[in-house]
Chains A and B, each alone.
Chain A
Amino acid sequence: MSKRHLLFACALAAALLAAGLWWAHGREMRRVRRQFKRLSGWVSKATRERPLSTAYRAQSIGTLFTRPCRLKTHVQTLSGTFTPAEVSRTAAFVRSQFSRLTLRFYDLQITITDKTAAQAVLTARLTGELTNGERVDEAHELRCKLLKVEDAWLFSDCEIVDVLQR
């Protein structure tokens, strides 16, 4: 094999390795992004949701969180350390207060910090109507940490960022 061929083979191998790493990195990003999509889908609530769907969604929300996970919000009952079961119970209670609810995520920026950890910054917007008819429209910046546990990305830490600090 000539020197030219050897150089070409090395360059090709390096390019393939870089493409593989890029693909693997992108794959993890997509998997993290999918967890956010799941969370928004399960938290959201349509009018006249069936009881079976309500129970399934509340149960499913808990499966997206690590044991334990930490939440920091402006509401005391939604702040602290929780188990997945407690997250499910809290989510069920919060969802029961709404007749209609939509959670959407915007400007999601994901950083894979190492093989088993990721960080995300995003804006979450919650719109809906309480059972007493009051309308809700809240947007907050969130900072989340996710850990890869048994090949699944789970939320381990979520906190509201105070963009406007009184």
Chain B
Amino acid sequence: MSTRSTETLVGLFVLLGLAALFFLALKAANLGNFNTEATYPVSARFDNVGGLKVRAPVRSAGVTVGRVTAITLDGKTFQGVVRMDIRQGFQFPKDSSAKILTSGLLGDQYVGLEPGGAEANLAPGATITQTQSALVLENLIGQVLFNKAAEAGDAGAKK
């Protein structure tokens, strides 16, 4: 086989590999999701972050507006600090509240932002103060049991 046709075939081979790489990176993975878009950082403090993970979506009215970038523990208040990047195109009022919600019954957890009514918007680096923690199933069951026991105790006292 001549050198020229070998070179052409190898060129095609490498090109095919690059095409596969681009397909996998752009169509079948998260590159180009909106990594290039400008974002601004916001943080929120929760009493309990539950099963929230880094890179979890931040949603408002169900629309993804950003991503969680870091989750740390504040050593003084013992609250979970969730840092997130919100897309520049979405500005939220200063008194917006954040909740940790679950998509579906068994789905992943995400941060839900609910806009408030203030005139001023959240500045980059601002902290959201009104928050609602993740629902922890054990606490919920404990509460139900406690209530049941209290009701039973009341009923017993009345008799």
Q: Do A and B bind each other?
A: no
